[in-house]
Amino acid sequence: MKNIKDIANKLGEAIQASREYMDYQNAKEKYDSDDTLQSLIGEFNMEKMNVMNEMQKGDDKDEAKLSSHQERMREIYNEIFKNDIMTEYNTAKNRFENIVNEVYGIINFYVTGEDPSCTHDCSTCGGCH
């Protein structure tokens, strides 16, 4: 059992040493420390709460208010995703998550015998057996 845990520790260290992990950490630092971006995200979340609160009023909801909050939410969303730091963060995060998911898939294959990329339609691959 100790050997398995040692290998898992080494795998964790290898993941932390990967380019994907380092790029993700650098992008996350920029993302977390960008006051403008964080302010926009906070504003977006407030508008989202306003939309949810208005929707919960059911028949008593103010359609003009709801529409105004939804429009402002769209504007803020577009601003957030035009931000270069947000783009860099999402790209790095997706690349890192893809690597982690591939590793989970490999481990899962050896534990369960199931290939996560298997569609169970044998015409889509060269064979797994």
CB distance 64 to 83 below 8 Å: no
User: What is the C-alpha separation between 47 and 72, in angstroms, rounded?
Assistant: 7
Q: How far apart are CA 111 and CA 108, in angstroms?
A: 5
The reply to whether 128 falls in a domain is no
Specify if 125 maps to a domain. no
- What is the domain range of residue 78? 2-97
- Is residue 102, in this structure, part of any structural domain at all? no
Instruction: Average pLDDT across each block of 10 residues of the chain; the chain has 129 residues. List them in order.
Output: 91 98 98 98 98 94 95 98 97 98 93 77 64
Structurally, the chain folds into a number of domains equal to 1
CATH number of residue 13's parent domain: 1.20.1500.10
The pLDDT of residue 128 is: 58
Residue 80 counted as domain residue:
yes
What confidence score (pLDDT) does residue 118 get? 72
How far is it, in rounded angstroms, from Cα 116 to Cα 108?
A: 8
pLDDT value at position 127?
60
Residue 126 lies in a domain: no
Domain-located, residue 55: yes
The answer to whether residue 72 is domain-embedded is yes
Q: Would you say residue 117 lies in a domain?
A: no
Contact 23, 96 (CB under 8 A): yes
- At 107 the pLDDT is 93
Q: What is the pLDDT of residue 114?
A: 79
**Which contacts of 16-23 are long-range, i.e. CB under 8 A and separated by 24 or more positions?**
18/96, 18/99, 20/92, 20/95, 20/96, 20/98, 20/99, 21/96, 21/99, 23/92, 23/95, 23/96
